[in-house]
Structure 1
């Protein structure tokens, strides 16, 4: 179980860090790739990017370093909130092809939340 949790945490960390970096530092590329970005102010997209970075680091660093490891399930909770909002956004925009991967990532975040909470 611990190995599975680590694999999922690493996958989610990479996804969140990649998304955060794109939203913050590669905004123009993101603007062209993701249609939803065009409908929101740059400041909002940047804010979401910073939340992605926090979730990504929080999913792995506390558990990896042993410093405040109870923060890992809280980061998984935060990641779950981010992913729930992403699913809602894509469903509202009738972008089911974009909502489906986020639903899968949400399930993974909940797995980490439950697995690291106990």
Structure 2
């Protein structure tokens, strides 16, 4: 189970460091082609989402790796689940239900990371 956690957490961390980093630093115009929803969300909120994604990625890896407050990995995974719930809500409210596939996959993966973390922490 520990190996499964590290694989899932590692993949999520890479994804969220990339996506969160883009949201945290790029302009609305640079984000728009890949993330059409940024046109209706205030940029401070987009930046906050990016920062939370980066913190979630760090929280998946650093606490279990150091053995300090390893329970934070569960909290980080649950936080990433909640981010995806919000993403699904935004897409559905904009009539973009066909775009929620990635959100659902990330939600399931983050939920799996939370479950895997509880099995060995």
TM-score, structure 1 as length reference:
0.92
* Offset of residue 96 of structure 1: 3.0
1:107 paired residue number: 108
More helix by share: 1
2:67 paired residue number: 66
Q: What are the within-5 Å matches in structure 2 for residues 37-116 of structure 1? A: 37-116=38-117
2:10 paired residue number: 10
Post-superposition Cα deviations, 1:14-70, rounded to whole Å, max 9, x if no partner, equal 111111110111223113321100111111111111111111111111111212111
Higher relative contact order (CA 8 A, sep 6+): 2
Unaligned segments of structure 2, at least 5 residues: none
TM-score, structure 2 as length reference:
0.90
CA contact (8 A) 2:78 2:110 kept: yes
Q: What is the SS of the residue equivalent to 2:70?
A: coil
Unaligned segments of structure 1, at least 5 residues: none
What is the number of residues matched between the two proteins?
Answer: 118
1:25 paired residue number: 25
